[in-house]
Amino acid sequence: MPYSPAPRKRRKDARPSELSAAALSLFVEKGFAATRLEDIAARAGVSKGTLYLYFDGKEALFKAVIQDGIVPVVAENEAIAARHTGSTFLLLEKLLDNWWAAIGQTDFAGIPKLMVAEARNFPEVAQFYYENVIRRARTLVGNTLERGMAEGEFRRMDVETTIDVIIAPILMLLIWRFSMANCQSSEADAGLYLRIHMDLLRQGLRASQV
Amino acid sequence: MPYSPAPRKRRKDARPSELSAAALSLFVEKGFAATRLEDIAARAGVSKGTLYLYFDGKEALFKAVIQDGIVPVVAENEAIAARHTGSTFLLLEKLLDNWWAAIGQTDFAGIPKLMVAEARNFPEVAQFYYENVIRRARTLVGNTLERGMAEGEFRRMDVETTIDVIIAPILMLLIWRFSMANCQSSEADAGLYLRIHMDLLRQGLRASQV
Amino acid sequence: MPYSPAPRKRRKDARPSELSAAALSLFVEKGFAATRLEDIAARAGVSKGTLYLYFDGKEALFKAVIQDGIVPVVAENEAIAARHTGSTFLLLEKLLDNWWAAIGQTDFAGIPKLMVAEARNFPEVAQFYYENVIRRARTLVGNTLERGMAEGEFRRMDVETTIDVIIAPILMLLIWRFSMANCQSSEADAGLYLRIHMDLLRQGLRASQV
Amino acid sequence: MPYSPAPRKRRKDARPSELSAAALSLFVEKGFAATRLEDIAARAGVSKGTLYLYFDGKEALFKAVIQDGIVPVVAENEAIAARHTGSTFLLLEKLLDNWWAAIGQTDFAGIPKLMVAEARNFPEVAQFYYENVIRRARTLVGNTLERGMAEGEFRRMDVETTIDVIIAPILMLLIWRFSMANCQSSEADAGLYLRIHMDLLRQGLRASQV
DNA sequence: TATGAATGAGTATTCATTCAT
DNA sequence: AATGAATGAATACTCATTCAT
């Protein structure tokens, strides 16, 4: 018999992530304080009490949302970089593609805005996020840049600044989408935006070819 | 001895901005929902009830904070651009300097983070902000770019994208300062950051001089 | 010089009754608790603080409204009775007419409803009202009935019950007017109501004439 | 041992009427505005929050108190009239007896005073009360009078006026009990009062028997 | 495991009252 | 005498959390 774990069992295991998914979408939508546990429970299709079977409370839910959300993607990107061979710029593109598929097009896309909004109220979670997401992501990009420079594919440049130039537009894209985007009459085209960004980088990074 | 208006009167006139200043700093620090009116009152040195003499309630206070905070600076910058003569890049620098003095180094610096955090809960205020701050600021930068291109000082480029490239790092600087900045061990040097930004722009914008 | 006291002086003397008149109309309209001192002041055309120059506070205002409102009319009616000669039923009619002119067609008309609504919250005022209005009015009507019976104009009957029969409809008329009257589509005709009431009494009270 | 439903469940079903009973007694005692939700909860033996599980708020509680309180008794009286045979005056007595047992001797007795006091602040509830209690009660009495006249038991008379004569004293009895009654030294005897009222009616209504 | 009834601490808001001018 | 800015106690209502079933 190939597969088919008992549905009830699968349900039980899936619960926590169902719950934190519901929490994430509401936290992103309304902010932490303005989200009621009752709404999270309702969106997950369980009762309020059930939340407490899996999480210690609202704060714990917030931490879980942040901590479980993005870290795996960072690790995944680190793995991608580790096994990559060939053009460094192609690696940058791979990293962006993977990040876009795993974050940008999922509910996790709301996390940066959420984290920005709540960092001061949850310094401990912010610290965790800084060390496990931001720092690692910057290191990854930084290493990639250095690899490109070492191989002569990229021109020499200040690494920290260039990391900012690479990451900031991507972050702004997400933050914008979960804050002011509704105010624009015309829908922004995220795919186009990212392509332009990468095009600029392709030119901007490469060693000048005389 | 010149005259001095009755203190009571002077107080009355000053109150609204004292109150919204206190509100701003707390909203930025803890978010809208997590800020208690009592704390705002305490920070402004008045009682809870006094807030209601000047503002209709917490939401009205939020609107006032946003609407009164930044718009004057936008207008100021528009005026600066209108009367500027000479190098277009110099104008860009002037605009940045003024904005940095009037926003970046005051409590208003927290507004972008606040607006990002609360935009979804106050769509009406977000709309106001979009139209009176964001759109006007973008138009101002866009016109400046076009002026530079028309005069041959800047190379030809896609204006909308370039506006993003100019503005996004400045926004990120502020958003970062009011969210994750505490997580870094080393203090970031905003002045340096902006100087590098302008240096990159100076090179990136100018028409290639063969 | 016939008259013309200084207008300012007249104003000063008139203040308290202007204030309690404003208070009465609002108390009647919305009840004691739901009436804000600010509204009373506004209706009287003065500032909130001025109320405290003439009354000790909201309760004092309530007491004044009740105590100053109706007692004079009771005294007036007692005087009418004292100097009346002739048909006793005519006296009853005079009393009703006077009461109707001095109470029923003025703002004082709202006092019975107000007193009913607030008696339990102001037992002291209620006691005052009971002794100085209700008891005296009942005594007056009772004495009149006894006079009519003594002179053979009215048939013998239980006095206390008859007092009720005479007074209750008049009270109900006022209470109704200040409570449910707005619910009726057709305007009630108070004058007609009272005339029918008196007609019934004329028949009901008179000694049967064989 | 017969079964016994879970106490929790039994509680749940009983709660709303426990709560509105507590609310009624306090509203009658102190008026709507002067009654604190906390006191209602305390009198019902629950916490403040529990009220909100069953009612949307203070106003909803007020509406429930009025709407659920008296209407059933009106319906009951209509049924009594529908199936009555025999003397019409006996029917009047039955109606009074039933009303006295179901209203006059229960906490519902306070509703007329409450409704009078709050009608202006709750026009919608007042309208409901007018149409579902007052109008129906008057119609019931009016039909009874017409039946009596048609059968020759009652003399011919103006129906609307007579309805007033029948109902007003009963209303006054209740209103009095919940307002000024405490001011009297001697306890009024409601039973006696009603008996006298009916005696007067018996004489007043019957067709003169020559 | 899951439920949802019950709780009560926490907060925005109102408004009678005071008092410097 | 008159003002109205300021106060802070009072209260309706919310919602995270608990726990008996």
Q: Is residue D185 part of a domain?
A: yes
Classify residue B151: in a domain, yes or no. yes
pLDDT at A93: 96
Report which of C134, C155, C143 is spatially closest to residue C92, judged by C-alpha positions.
Answer: C143
pLDDT of residue C94 exceeding 60: yes
Residue D2 has pLDDT above 50, yes or no: no
For residue C193, the chain D residue with the least C-alpha distance is D161
Query: Is there contact between B7 and strand E, defined as CB under 7 Å from any strand atom?
Result: yes
pLDDT at residue C56 is higher than 80: yes
Cβ contacts of C196 within 8 Å, gap of 6 or more: D158, D161
Contact A117 B175 (CB under 8 A): no
Distance A119 CA to F18 C1' (A): 29
> Among A150, A156, A166, A139, which Cα is nearest to A88's?
A150
Mutation pick from B27, B164, B174 vs chain A, by most beta carbons of A within 10 Å, is: B164
Cα angle, residue A150 at apex, residues A148 and A152 outer, rounded to 5° = 70
Interface test with C, best of D36, D113, D116, D133 (most C CBs within 10 A): D116
Give the mean model confidence (pLDDT) for residues C150-159: 94
On whether the CB atoms of residues C90 and C64 are closer than 8 A, the answer is no
Q: What is the band of C70 on the pLDDT scale with cuts at 50, 70, 90?
A: confident
Give, in Å, how far the C1' of E17 lies from the CA of D39. Answer: 25
pLDDT of residue C1: 41
pLDDT over threshold 50, residue A51:
yes
Residue C22 binned pLDDT confidence (cut-offs 50, 70, 90) = very high
If one counts the domains in chain B, the total is 1
Beta carbons of D116 and C120 less than 8 Å apart: no
Mean pLDDT for all residues in chain C = 90
Q: What pLDDT does residue D9 have?
A: 53
Comparing CA positions, the residue from C47, C51, C52 lying closest to residue C21 is C51
CA distance D172 to D193: 11
Q: How many CB atoms are located within 10 Å of the residue D8 CB? A: 7
Q: Which residues contact B6 (CB under 8 A, 6 or more apart)?
A: none
d(CA C160, CA C158): 6
- For B202, other C-beta atoms within 10 Å of its C-beta total 12
| A33 Cα to chain B: minimum distance (Å) | 6
Q: What per-residue string of b and e applies to B81-102 under the rule 16 or more CB within 10 Å gives b?
A: beebeeebbebbebbbebbbeb
- Closest partner CB to B121 (pick from A34, A113, A165): A34
pLDDT of residue B2: 44
Sequential pLDDT tens for chain B (210 residues):
344 444 555 566 778 999 999 999 999 999 999 999 999 999 999 999 999 999 999 999 999 999 888 888 999 999 999 999 999 999 999 999 999 999 999 999 999 999 999 999 999 999 999 999 999 999 999 999 999 999 999 999 999 999 999 999 999 999 999 999 999 988 888 999 999 999 989 988 998 755
pLDDT at B209: 59
Position C98 scores a pLDDT of 93
d(CA A117, CA B114) in angstroms, rounded, equals: 7
Query: Are C116 and D118 an interchain contact pair (Cβ–Cβ within 8 Å)?
Result: no
- Counting one residue from C and one from D, how many pairs have CB atoms under 8 Å apart? 115
List, as one string, the DSSP characters of D70-116.
SHHHHHHHHHHHHH--S-HHHHHHHHHHHHIIIIITSGGGGHHHHHH
* 8 Å CB contact of B127 and A183: yes
Q: Residues C172-195: what's their mean pLDDT?
A: 91
Please state the rounded mean pLDDT for residues D133-152.
96
- Strand E, nucleotides < 7 Å from a protein CB: these are 1-21
Task: Give the helix/strand (H/E) hosting D14.
Answer: helix D7-30
Mean pLDDT of A172-198: 91
- Identify whether A47 is part of a domain: no
Cβ of B46 less than 7 A from strand F: yes
Q: At A92, give phi and psi (nearest 5°).
A: -55, -40
Query: Which one of D164, D177, D201, D205 would you mutate to disrupt binding with C, by most C Cβ within 10 Å of its Cβ?
Result: D164
> Does C30 reside within a domain?
no
High-pLDDT (> 90) share of chain D, %: 80
pLDDT class of A188 with cuts at 50, 70, 90: confident
Between CA A138 and CA A160 the distance in angstroms is 8
Instruction: Measure the CA–CA gap between D39 and A120, rounded to whole angstroms.
Output: 40
For A131, the closest chain B residue by CA position comes to B183
Are the C-beta atoms of B150 and B88 separated by less than 8 Å?
A: no
Using 50, 70 and 90 to split pLDDT, how confident is the model at D11? low
Q: Do A180 and B33 touch (CB under 8 A)?
A: no
Query: Does A175 sit within 8 Å of B120, measured CB to CB?
Result: no
Q: Which pLDDT band, with edges at 50, 70 and 90, does D85 fall under?
A: very high
> Is residue B175 a contact partner of residue B113, using CB atoms and an 8 Å limit?
yes
Place of tokens 């949307």: D56
- Which residue is it, tokens 């008329």? C173
User: Is B143 part of a structural domain of the chain?
Assistant: yes
pLDDT at B63: 95
Chain length of chain D: 210
Q: Is the pLDDT of residue D99 over 80?
A: yes
What pLDDT sits at residue D12?
A: 67
Residues of D in contact with C116 (CB under 8 A): 113, 116-117, 175, 179-180
Give residues with Cβ within 8 angstroms of B27, minimum separation 6: B35, B62, B65, B110, B114
Chains contacting chain A through 3 or more C-beta pairs under 8 A: B
Q: How confident is the model at residue C72 (pLDDT cuts 50, 70, 90)?
A: confident
pLDDT at position B146: 97
For residues A134 and B180, the answer to whether their CB atoms sit within 8 Å is yes
pTM of the model: 0.89
What average pLDDT does the segment C65-70 reach? 88
Residue D121 lies in a domain: yes
**Contact flag A116-B115 (C-beta cutoff 8 Å):** no
Task: Please indicate whether residue D90 or residue D203 has the higher confidence score (pLDDT).
Answer: D90
- Asked if residue D114 is part of any domain, the answer here is yes
pLDDT category, D186, cuts 50, 70, 90?
confident
| Nearest protein residue, CA measured to C1' of F18 | A49
Half-sphere exposure of B74 (CA within 13 A, CB side): 19
Q: What mean pLDDT do residues C142-160 have?
A: 95
List the structure tokens of D39. Answer: 């006191």
Strand E at less than 7 A from CB of B58? yes
**Could you tell me the two tokens for C14?**
């008139």
Quick check: D47 CB within 7 A of strand E?
Answer: yes
Digit-coded pLDDT (tens) for A78-115: 999 999 999 999 999 999 999 999 999 999 999 999 99
The nearest CA of chain D is from the CA of C113 a distance in Å of 7
- Flag whether C touches D (3+ CB pairs, 8 A cutoff): yes
Least confident of B62-66, C171-175, D19-23, D202-206: D202-206
Confidence tier at C209 by pLDDT (50, 70, 90): low
D209: confidence class by pLDDT, cuts 50, 70, 90: low
- Name which of A43-52, B98-107, C13-22 the model is least confident about: C13-22
Give the dihedral of Cα atoms C157, C160, C162, C165; nearest 10 deg.
-160
Nucleotide F9: nearest residue by CA–C1'?
B49
Residue C172 reports pLDDT greater than 90: yes
Q: How many CB atoms lie within 10 A of CB C41?
A: 19
Read off the pLDDT of each residue in D180-196 and give the average, rounded to a whole number.
89
B120 vs A29, A171, A200: nearest CB = A29
Q: pLDDT, tens digit, for every residue of C97-146?
A: 999 999 999 999 999 999 999 999 999 999 999 999 999 999 999 999 99
Q: What is the DSSP string of A80-147?
A: HHHH--S-HHHHHHHHHHHHIIIIITSGGGGHHHHHHHHTTT-HHHHHHHIIIIIHHHHHHHHHHHHH
- Is D109 within a domain? yes
Q: Is the predicted pLDDT of residue C26 greater than 60, yes or no?
A: yes
Interface of A with B (CB under 8 A): 29-34, 113, 115-121, 123, 126-127, 129-131, 134, 158, 161, 164-165, 168-169, 171-172, 175, 178-180, 182-184, 196, 200
Taking the CA of residue C61 and the C1' sugar atom of nucleotide F2, their distance in angstroms comes to 19
| Domain interval for residue B150 | 62-205
Q: Which residues of B lie closer than 8 Å to A, measured between beta carbons?
A: 29-34, 113, 115-121, 123, 126-127, 129-131, 134, 158, 161, 164-165, 168-169, 171-172, 175, 178-180, 182-184, 196, 200
Q: Closest nucleotide (CA of B6 to C1')? A: E21
Q: Mean pLDDT over all residues of chain D?
A: 91
Residues of D in contact with C196 (CB under 8 A): 158, 161
The angle subtended at Cα C203 by Cα C198 and Cα C206, nearest 5°, is 110
Whichever domain contains A176, its CATH number is 1.10.357.10
Residue D5 predicted with pLDDT over 80? no
